[in-house]
Amino acid sequence: MEIKLKPIATVKNSRSEPIDDNWETIIAEIELADHMPTESFDNISDFSHLEIIYYFDKVKNEDIVFSGRPRGNPNYPVVGIFGQRKKDRPNKIGLATVELLERIDRTIKVKFLDAIDGTPVLDIKPVFKEFQPKTEIHQPAWVADLMKKYWK
């Protein structure tokens, strides 16, 4: 089965390369595609956070991996692609929970979106508390080490 998706928006920001760290300072704008009606953003400002689903369009098919050491770091274990958040994924799909800063007509400004300028956005969903984890989140120790500069 093949699934075809049409981007609903595009990311606009100052980052043109997929650098791993220091995303916290990046404020991104998400601008609706021409085929999307402006009312798609109606009442979005009622929410503080959104989930952005986007497409890693710059990832080359030959770069897709199914396992490896996160960031190639020999101090980290070899893990499957579904045990890490690497961009070189089988379907090249990214997901980020962002803070909504403001809506201006056909554009929203967000913080904590780790997508480069020009990235196609596939969907946007508001964060509902009721969909958040009901139990404590746990993760391997290497994740905290990997992430220590990501949002710094």
DSSP 16-66: -S--SS--TT-EEEEEE-TTS-GGGGTTGGG-SEEEEEEE-TT--GGG--S
Q: CA-to-CA distance for 41 and 93, rounded, in angstroms?
A: 22
Domain residue ranges in the chain: 9-147
CATH class, range 9-147? mainly beta
pLDDT tens, residue by residue, 75-96? 999 999 999 999 999 999 999 9
- pLDDT at site 22: 84
Band the pLDDT of 149: cuts 50, 70, 90.
confident
Asked if 100 contacts 110 with a C-beta cutoff of 8 angstroms, the reply is: yes
pLDDT at position 152 over 80: no
- pLDDT at site 73: 94
Band the pLDDT of 48: cuts 50, 70, 90.
very high
* CB within 8 Å of 78: residues ≥ 6 apart: 67, 68, 69
pLDDT at position 31 over 90: yes
